[in-house]
Chains A and B, each alone.
Chain A
């Protein structure tokens, strides 16, 4: 397996060969055994809790109110996204492309600097699993007790503990699903509908899928999801380079490792005392001393574990620490601004953010499209005027009723039919008008005359929108 990482570069130390020889015998986590990781406090555990609290937004966000309605609402049936004061209609969905670009490159940038930060600190799989195992620990006790309980025959106590645990897991799954759906429909109404069994089939199906999905993924599959299911784990793995800082075991300092026994100090031994605490706390069940490997989600919990042991035996911290391969090899580490990859990623991020800011501040009030009737392109009227027919499609991007006027320019003596002095647009809707234009033949110089439709608002918005169309006349005018 990948434990035998192809790190020929790491042959800097004589002990590397021995390390890998031992690593070959390391039991690879293939999911045949449940990983019961030990929990201990520390710097990175604290950091992890702080990072995970970002997900509170996911649970609480749908209940934010703004101007009497839900502050953030992704209203799919009505095809509009409401984000505080901003209404985004499908016409502006290109903004979504920039948001996706931003997050994709942010992932790449962070991964190239500090590895799988997303996996270790922000990913829902990691965090939900962490919460699920926390509940498990609260109910069933330490990893050793849990293993014992799993093997124990069924009795009243075991049944009680398991029923409580699985109910708790399912409840979290339900809340997860509910919170997800609440972003797409009014959250308060959703509670009422769900609890009174009035919600649609789709809502119940989604709730069931999320409840069961969360229950299975965080309760049972856990780190196996990161190993075998998640594409990001693999993609991020290839974004590392020798300058990426990752949780790394300092081989030079640690090897040769040996058990520490009282009053028996072995000369020449490294700082690693083979206490296996780093393995015990690992939520994915790997041995970080085998080098960087696919199972490592860079959560830093082994750093906490090792540091606590180092404190106890009076050695300096950092036997396992965030370090780049260059640092371990003793190669000079370049600062961020001299690393082309970081610079390119930063450039793309700046582009995406600029585009987004531009987009959000220039959403506009209207969107105008003019479609010229093709059958017939034009008709001659009995007065000798040429008549063209147009379909005006005007999108009111605001959530207010708008009164507008339409002005047509481009030729002399244009007569319009179908344009009233004041026209009304429904909020957040596309309104279409059929408009006829008549121009005396003598005022037409060519078979095709450019014609301009301009929308002017009656309200406080001073937006005007112009659309260029074409006025067709008989070919002999050319």
Chain B
């Protein structure tokens, strides 16, 4: 830098020189830049006046438009509800069976039913109704309590809890083994013990179970208490029963009630249609 007199007068330099002729000029910024700069701060002023912005001691400036993210969210939600409204009002006065019969409505219901199913059912029955150990498959046509749309609706609404007593006291191990083998081969009713131990009372003369009491079909090869060793699993069920309070090793199988406040009637109807359409509805 030099303190000598300005060697380049009249070019608006700052008087700072390096290497004789390298100097700093004090030019106006370009017009486009100046326009951009002024446009920016004007935008900021307008924006902060319109929208929530400046912090205060207890609260903040709310903005002249009164905009908040939650009201925007609620408005969006409302517009979605407006689209749904005509469907929802129709569904309200229809039975689940009527909804199922209507192509358009059952398509709509399947869409929202999927969400409800994910929230309420899939934890036990699997995301696609594929079932789990102790929890029935909902995509097949083997139903403990009946697979009509009304049956399904009732099941969801009121829940289900069947009882099968343990048979350890009635049947000795040899008989349980032989009966289990017969069931595993699909020939339960041919075994003498089937009648002798009273199985026939609940599971019926044909072994297909009775839907009013939720007794299982013993001849279709579909099991709720699935296991790698299915035969052992059958033996266990015969020996200790299902939901037998007197027996600590008894199978536990409870379908909770979703009616009575947990889910609305409409939601239950939607779920019933959804489950019916999973593949096994009768």
Taking beta carbons and an 8 Å cutoff, which residues of A are in contact with B? 373-376, 379-384, 387, 389, 434, 436
Asked if A389 contacts B279 (CB within 8 A), the reply is yes
Asked if B128 contacts A436 (CB within 8 A), the reply is no
A387 to B278, CA, bound (A): 11
Asked if B137 contacts A381 (CB within 8 A), the reply is no
A434 to B106, CA, bound (A): 12
A376 to B128, CA, bound (A): 6
- Select the stretch in B80-88, B94-102, B215-223, B237-245 that faces chain A: B215-223
A373 to B140, CA, bound (A): 14
Interface mask (B106-140 → A, CB under 8 Å = 1, otherwise 0): 00000000000000000000111111000001011
Asked if A380 contacts B277 (CB within 8 A), the reply is no
Choice from A379, A382, A383, A384 contacting B139 with Cβ under 8 Å: A379
Kindly report which residue of chain B lies nearest to residue A382, judged by CB atoms. Answer: B220
Instruction: Identify which of residues 136-156 in chain B touch chain A, using a CB-to-CB cut-off of 8 Å.
Output: 137, 139-142
Kindly report which residue of chain A lies nearest to residue B147, judged by CB atoms. Answer: A382
A384 to B222, CA, bound (A): 9
Asked if A380 contacts B280 (CB within 8 A), the reply is no
Minimum Cβ distance to chain B for residue A285 (Å): 20
Instruction: Identify which of residues 165-217 in chain B touch chain A, using a CB-to-CB cut-off of 8 Å.
Output: 217
Minimum Cβ distance to chain A for residue B39 (Å): 14
A436 to B139, CA, bound (A): 11
Asked if A376 contacts B222 (CB within 8 A), the reply is no
Asked if A375 contacts B128 (CB within 8 A), the reply is yes
A387 to B281, CA, bound (A): 13
A376-B142 contact, Cβ under 8 Å, with A382-B217, A382-B220 = no
Choice from B127, B128, B217, B221 contacting A380 with Cβ under 8 Å: B221
Minimum Cβ distance to chain B for residue A381 (Å): 5
Asked if B141 contacts A375 (CB within 8 A), the reply is no
Minimum Cβ distance to chain B for residue A326 (Å): 43
A sample of 15 inter-chain contacts (CB < 8 A) reads: A373-B128, A375-B126, A375-B128, A376-B128, A376-B139, A379-B130, A379-B137, A379-B279, A380-B221, A380-B222, A381-B142, A381-B280, A387-B139, A389-B279, A436-B279
A382-B141 contact, Cβ under 8 Å, with A375-B130, A376-B129, A376-B130 = yes
Choice from B140, B217, B221, B277 contacting A379 with Cβ under 8 Å: B140
Of B131, B217, B221, the most chain A CB neighbours within 10 A belong to B221
Kindly report which residue of chain A lies nearest to residue B217, judged by CB atoms. Answer: A382
Minimum Cβ distance to chain A for residue B280 (Å): 7
Choice from A376, A387, A436 contacting B126 with Cβ under 8 Å: A376
A374-B141 contact, Cβ under 8 Å, with A380-B222, A384-B221 = no
Choice from A374, A382, A384, A387 contacting B279 with Cβ under 8 Å: A387
Asked if B127 contacts A375 (CB within 8 A), the reply is yes
